[in-house]
Amino acid sequence: MTAPYGYRLPEPRRIDWRRQADTAERAFLTNAFFLLAGDRQAENLDETVDLTATPDLVFIKLVALVGG
């Protein structure tokens, strides 16, 4: 079922946040996506981002181009 801002599951289910966090960490470390905090790129996961000074965070997923 589609919702105005994404996909809605027919029935709620519990999400394992630890597993999701591990997956996101592996993806970051293998350059599957990168993170822009304001006007700079986060280089590692230990960096501190001041959300009061830099409220804009952008996650960019990298995908391979077909035929390129």
CA distance 21 to 17: 6
Instruction: Inform me whether the pLDDT recorded for 2 exceeds 80.
Output: no
Asked if pLDDT for residue 1 goes beyond 70, the answer is: no
Q: Are 31 and 59 in contact, with CB atoms under 8 Å apart? A: no
In tens, the pLDDT along 21-68 reads 999 999 999 989 999 988 889 999 898 888 888 678 899 998 888 876
Does pTM top 0.75 for this prediction?
no
User: What is residue 23's three-state secondary structure?
Assistant: helix
Q: What is the pLDDT of residue 68?
A: 60
Domain residue ranges in the chain: 12-61
Phi, psi of 27 (to 5 degrees): -65, -40
